Every structure is written in C-alpha cells, then in structure tokens.
Chains A and B, each alone.
Chain A
Amino acid sequence: MNSAEQRALDVSDVDSPLHSTEQTDQYLTFIMAGEEYGVDILRVQEIRGWETVTPIPNAPPHIKGVINLRGTIVPIIDLRQRFGLSKVEYGPLTVVIVLKVETRKGARVMGIVVDAVSDVYSLSSQEMRAAPDLGDNVNTSYIKGLVNVASKMVILLDINELLGMDTIPEVSASALNELKQAVDRH
C-alpha cells in the first residue's frame, strides 16, 4: 500500500517540452509487451502500484477485480489480457493507471494494469496518422492514431472507445500483429 502511494506520481505536473503555436495534446505512454501505447493525459487520474484486488465472480478474465480507491469501488482491467497478449506475473513494478472514462452512462473511473509507464509526449494532430483500415474483421475504433516518436511507433488509444463500451469487443494479438504489419508497409 505504502510503496504504491509513494510511487503514485502527480502526472499533471509534467512540463510540456514543446511550446508551439499549433494545438498539441499530451499523452502518457506505457509499455506492454515491448510496444508503446499512449493515452490522453487529461484522462489520467493517477498512477498506482499493483495491489491485491477483490475478484468479481464470473467476470471476463481481463477484468481482474475491484479495488477501494479512497472509498469508491474501481474496477481494474488487465490491458495485456484485454489485448490477448501473454499473461505476466504481477511484480513490484507492475503499474495501474487510473483513468476517467466517458461512457454513455456518464463518467466512470477504471484502472488498467500495464507493464510500465514510459513517458509523456506532446503531440500535434498533424503528427498523428490514422490507424490503417484492416477490413471488417479487425475493429480498430479504439485506436485514435499512430505516431512516430524517435523512430518508435506509439499507438494512441481512445480509452472512451476501448473501455466505455458495455460489451468490450475482442481485441486479439493477431489483430495487433496485422496492424503492425500494415503500419510497416506504409
């Protein structure tokens, strides 16, 4: 508990490195299975360490359970399992990003488990490329766009799309692979 609180860092303090006239948004990026993903930093409430959750009976496997976040019950979602990536043991470095998600039923607070938090980037919409259309069988609506930062690809996620839906569509590892290949071809 304590270590989690110590490591909780206030993300709103992060300075924006770029001061350009064009509209830039800040993204918090995190690492999962070697890939870097980004979420809109304004959606991030806090970053915590992993702590034991209370499992929800009969919930899908990627929903790990609920935690007590200062009096409110917050569900925790394992993004690895959500994306169909291989499971890893949770360790002291495992991080939970607490996000505020806008859904049709109002704002919800949810936590996502990721491998590690990486960086904060200021990105303009020009730098962003739309996710390639992979046909009907791969749903890419939860991908806001792709962006290259220092020759790395960062996948920007639309968390409202990703977590806001009542029935979460299956995102599979093969879909992600297809996506990567499509990007490489570009």
Chain B
Amino acid sequence: MSLLSAEKLTKTYRSGDIEVPALKGVDFSIEAAAFVAFVGPSGSGKSTLLNLIGCLDHPTSGTLKVLDTDIATLDRRAAARFRGEHIGFVFQDFNLIPVLTVFENVEYPLRMVQLWPAAKRRAQVLRLLDAVGMADQAHKRPDQISGGQKQRVAVARALVSDPKLVLADEPTANLDSETAHRVLELMKKMRDEFRTTFVFSTHDARIMGEAEVIFTLEDGRLLQGENHA
C-alpha cells in the first residue's frame, strides 16, 4: 500500500481575477520508506506539491491521500495535529529557533506539539542527537554551530516524533557540496534506521543522484517518474 497517492491533483492560485495554475492534474504514488525527489525548474510546482503533501495547503481539485487521509478534509486544527503526528519538516534555511539550544530545538515538537513527559522526551532527543552526530553540541545555540550542523539538527527535529514522512524543501541549497553530501548520507541513514519516507523538492543534481525515485515537474505537470532504486 502506498504512503502517498495523488489523483488528478490540481492547485490554482487566484490573484484578483487572475488565475495561476500551479499544478495541473498530477498523479503519483509513493511507497513507504522511499527516498523521493521532486525536481524541476523554479515555478514548476515543486513547492506547491510539497505544501499540499505537508497539509499546509488544500488542493483545488483532485485527491491527495497521505497515510490514507484525504488532506482536503482536514481543517486548520486537524491539519496541524496531523502534521505534528505524522510529518517532519526540513527547511532550506534550517529554521531553527534562535533562543533555544540544539537540544531544545530538537525537543520542541515533543514539548510543544506532542506534549511528551520530560524524561521520555530527553531520552528520545538524546537518541536522535546521537544518531545525527550532534550529541556533543546539544547545549549550543543555533548561532554557535555551522550550516551543516544546523541542518543535522533540523533533520533530528524532523525525526524526533517518529513521523512516517519527512518533507524537505531544498534541504541542501544553503550547504557546500561536502556538507550537502554528508547531510544526504545522514538522511539516508535515518531512512534506513527509522523506516521513514523522505520526500524532497530540489533542483540540486546531488540530491537527484541520491534519490531512489525522481519525479520531474514542469509547468505544473508531472513529466515522468524514474525509479533509481
């Protein structure tokens, strides 16, 4: 059974009387524990698609099911709850909270979203920090660590609540080649260790090379799906 499936998925933005179609009838399905990249030039609809998969937006028409849930049926609160329970996010700019330490940033989803008890939280955060190799930096603040380290922390934060799916929007765009490679290796390792599905939007050739499945988007349409696995 697929983890994600889309049928005739469309998304149209309106600005006054002008309609801008971002996705034009997209069909795809993604299996559990896959390492998937959506690629394409700027404006092709990658970010729109990731926003829809991440329950941050609603489709204009068509169906998008994430973990058997039709995301069009989720209201604002239900969508937030669904994201908190099932989806992790990795952002291009890391988006760590500057006033919190590395430990607290990773802890945040458990503390403020899942409301885990402190002892259980601590064990889980340390496990994830250890897994991404940041346990010794736990007390530092984001402005005291490098870009690659920040993205490692972001990956740990995305995985800390054991989500089924991690969405990463251009996760290596702000990293140098070597750091980007290490972050991708880390993500693959995490996928293997936690059986989490990773979905990227990117036009970074390095990610394309690492992805097992590549969907190419152009002008809001899915051109092809390649399986590199």
B partners with A? no
